Amino acid sequence: MSAAAFPAVAERDISGTWRALYHEDFPERVPGPSLVEYYGLPINEAARARGLAWDASILSLPEHQCRPHPADYGSRHSNVRIWAEFHPETQQLVAYRSRREWQAVERTIWMDGRPHPPPNAPHTWQGFSTGEWEGDKLKVTTTHLKHGYVRRNGLPRSDRAMLVEYFYRNGLDHLTIVRIVDDPVYLTEPLVATSDYRLDLELRIDAYPCDIVEEVVGLPPGYVPHHLPGQNPAIDDFATTYGLPLEAVLGGAVTMYPTFLGGEPGALPRVRTIEPVRAAGAVAGAAAEAGALEILPVQGGVYLIAGPTSNAVVQVGADGVLVVDTHGAGGGDALVAAIRTLTDAPIRYVVNTHAHPDHIGGNLEVIAAGQSVAGGNVARAVSDAGQGAKGIAHENVLLRLESLESPPPYRAWPTDFFVERPKDLFFNGEAVRVIHQPAAHTDGDSIVHFRGSDVIATGDVFSTVRYPVIDVEHGGSIDGIIDSLNRLLEIAVPRDRQEGGTMIVPGHGRIADEADVVEYRDMLTIIRDRIRHLIAQGYTLEQVKAERPTLDYDPLYGAAEGERLVEAVYASLAAGGADRGGLTSRDRR
Amino acid sequence: MSGRSYRIVVLAAAVALLAARAAVAQGEPNDARSRAPLDLEGIWVSVVTEDWRWRMVTPAKGDYASVPLNAAGQAAASEWEPVDGEPSCLAFGAPALMRMPMHVRIRWADENTLELRTDRGRQTRIFRFDSNPPPAAPSRQGRSVATFDGTALKVVTDSLLPGWLRTNGVPYSDATRVTEYYNTHEAFGREGFTVTTIVHDPVYLQTDFVTSTTFWKVADDGDWQETPCREPASQ
């Protein structure tokens, strides 16, 4: 058969109010899936481990309560209204917009050919979607998804996944949406699933408010419910209830194909599958790693300038420029040049979040390019008192620089230090607070909160692209990092559906918000609790490593980095005592 | 119809016939195979990411979750009794066949006929591009009339013997009519098709039963494994 690539047939408008048909997987899609019901999903070992660690009571935490289904799961649920938006003059189709009832999910599919955002742009629940016609059918590609799930019983889908959907309007009154998601982190091959709808002219899509409440009181700060490895009490409940073999309900690509029928338990699939082309476009930090500077507005007067080694954050306004971190050695001039594309105003302040060279390496050039405001006796006594921006950091940053065998030139030091109280500024019309985070990534970490712009620069207590580096030798600790992440969550206020609002810029990676910090906090708390549990049982470091306590997150950040994290957490807990901190789900029973 | 309207219809039909003959005369083939807006030929494997518990294994008696059965359908489903061995061929009729975990081989039997064969259950479906098909005796796969609907293949099937929507005896009647839309897609290096199946049964269903089932294309028939279904004692 020789079919034209995309036959010349009329595009089929998908607008309408569509009633979801739950004629497949009703028990999963409406009441919800059972625990450890993973069959039919091409999950890898790491995804399965995360699923088994998942405790449903995590949904009662305030920061989890109002999360909507992400784009790749939402089409399985809820009625939907879809409408077209046309350019007022040209009448060209600009976008399809949709609203689902549950959690009031609104989504946009851009049809005007605009490009996807750069890698360090924020990720959202619905991601960034563009559509194109293939004949009469609509193909939609979505990137920039937040961490989500492939089944809402704890099976994860990472923020590096890409989604392709096809919208088929079959006849006049049926709509089939095929979604194909590829996640290089947690899936061994693309996952395909479908949803069917019937046009219903009388259907209403009602409002869906969601108020966060304290569902459980008395929880310790930072409590993250989870099951320790091997301690999930429900592991075989579902299999037993339905008389299914455990190897089937534990899922994996092998269970998706007919060759699984009657095969040996645990047998490898005999289906010769095609190696998927992995989604790579949405990997945060890709552009920065290539060496180019990426300038992105965050919000208010704050910008991210992502460099090859780390992020710098710049606040711009009538008073001048405030810079948080200056990239690595040799990066200062390029950073100044990037700032000059935003404004000609003088650089007044350079704030260092900690003393590591990938964050202060450009201090010399950036400070030298700036001007501080000097007056009174100082200006009269010191001829160059206003030359150079003012450098700000916690006292321990200076102590660290002093201790180096080959410290940077003194002119590169952030000499305006603070000790106990936060350093407060009022600059460019907003309060700016530099707040020390004790014993976190190092002993001298600070976060910088732009209160008017509602942006926090975190330095290296948070990242979207790697495990934290805990500099135990220089005062860092796992508990300090987790405390710092919980402090970020206390400050941040999401705008709606636990998304947006306060924007958070990590030391490495993309622009984030509270939900991204929650993922990171949950991960580190779970890993910390696992290692602490093993230490309490008398495990040596090598024995702890052998238990692979970072197994389920290593595809995100790397197994070697996971091993280094285990070493640091072990050393940190051994130094500070393994009995501090939160509880596991078992502890609370 | 008035005499004037009748003349208009006859005239339009004549014009259409002449246009078709002219196209053939000019060497433009007008058969279904040449006009096909999608390519379904090849071997495909079903991807069971949905309804696993009702497709990959025989569900328990009375488990007809997701199927909009009416009271008569529920009563009929409750009469089923499990039997060891191969599943009954009653579950391999056209309304349910594409939900089976299986491989399918699709080919043009001739320029106006698509043939779909399955390894599991050893069934064969025939899709004829014939707008005026002759009557057919009821059968398991029924009589299927195919058309192209935009870029989709639309197949309407009737003349069916009664059978099961699932292997645990969820029934459909001989009054059932099935409408299917086959759509192709490509993503992440995978070529696939999804068939949306709309089962209309005024006897056992409250409303149309709509499912959609996806198949990936496979390179060869290395995993093709023909297994029979169990013929019912009588039908």
User: Where are the extended beta strands (E) located within chain B?
Assistant: 42-46, 103-110, 113-118, 124-128, 143-149, 152-158, 163-164, 171-172, 177-187, 190-200, 209-218
The Cα–Cα gap between A514 and A491 comes to: 9
For position B86, what pLDDT does the model report? 84
* Residue pLDDT, tens place only, B80-129: 998 888 889 999 999 999 999 999 999 999 999 999 999 999 999 999 99
Determine the distance in angstroms separating the CA of B23 from the nearest CA of chain A, rounded to an integer.
18
d(CA B46, CA B101): 6
Q: What is the mean pLDDT of chain A?
A: 91
Cα B165 to Cα B143, B211, B228, distances in angstroms: 18, 11, 18
* pLDDT at residue A7 is higher than 80: no
Cβ pair B194:A274 closer than 8 A: no
| Lowest-confidence region among A156-170, A261-275, A520-534, B112-126 | A261-275
Strand (E) or helix (H) holding A280: none
The model's pLDDT over A325-352, given as tens digits with 9 standing for 90+, comes to 999 999 999 999 999 999 999 999 999 9
Tell me if A277 and B149 make a contact (CB, 8 A cut-off).
no
Residue A144, pLDDT > 70, answer: yes
Q: Which residue has the tokens 């309804």?
A: B51
Tell whether B133 lies on the interface with A, counting CB pairs under 8 A.
no
Farthest CA pair distance, chain B: 66
Q: Find the length of chain A.
A: 589
Q: Is A264 exposed, middle or buried (0-12, 13-18, 19+ CB in 10 A)?
A: exposed
What part of B 89-108 touches A (C-beta under 8 Å)?
100-103, 108
Residue B10 has pLDDT above 60, yes or no: no
* pLDDT tens-place string over residues A216-225: 898 888 999 9
CATH 3.60.15.10 boundaries in chain A:
286-576
Q: What is the pLDDT of residue A263?
A: 43
pLDDT (tens digit per residue) in B183-216: 999 999 999 999 999 999 999 999 999 999 999 9
pLDDT for res A76: 85
Choice between A383 and B113, residue whose per-residue pLDDT is larger: B113
Residues paired with A176 in a beta bridge:
A168, A196
Residue B197 in contact with partner chain A when CB distance is under 8 A: no
Q: Rounded distance, CA B231 to CA B227, Å? A: 13
Average of pLDDT values for B56-71? 95
What are the tokens at A508? 């490495």
Residue A10: its pLDDT value, please?
Answer: 85
Kindly report, residue by residue over A227-268, the tens digit of the pLDDT. 999 999 999 999 999 999 999 999 999 999 998 875 433 333
Q: What type of residue sits at position A358?
A: D
Q: How confident is the model at residue A483 (pLDDT cuts 50, 70, 90)?
A: very high
Residues of B in contact with A194 (CB under 8 A): 50, 194, 196, 212-214
Residue A380's pLDDT band, with cuts at 50, 70 and 90, is low
Cα–Cα distance, A279 to A39 (Å, whole number): 23
Helix (H, G, I), strand (E, B) or coil at B217: strand
Backbone angles phi, psi at A295, to 5 degrees: -105, 120
CATH architecture, range A286-576: 4-Layer Sandwich (3.60)
pTM of the full structure: 0.92
Quote the strand ranges of A87-173, DSSP E.
93-100, 105-110, 128-134, 137-143, 148-151, 155-157, 162-170
Element (H, E) at B186: strand B177-187
Q: Among A235, A223, A332, which residue's Cα sits nearest to residue A587?
A: A223
Instruction: Please list every residue in chain B whose beta carbon sits closer than 8 Å to the beta carbon of residue A257.
Output: 45-48, 101
Q: CB-based contacts of B21: which residues, under 8 Å, 6+ apart? A: none
Decide if A40 and B52 are in contact by the 8 Å CB cutoff: yes
String of b and e for A265-286 (b: at least 16 CB within 10 Å)? eeeebebebbebebbeebbbbb
In chain A, the N- to C-terminal Cα span, in Å, equals: 63
Locate the chain A residue with the closest alpha carbon to B36: A3
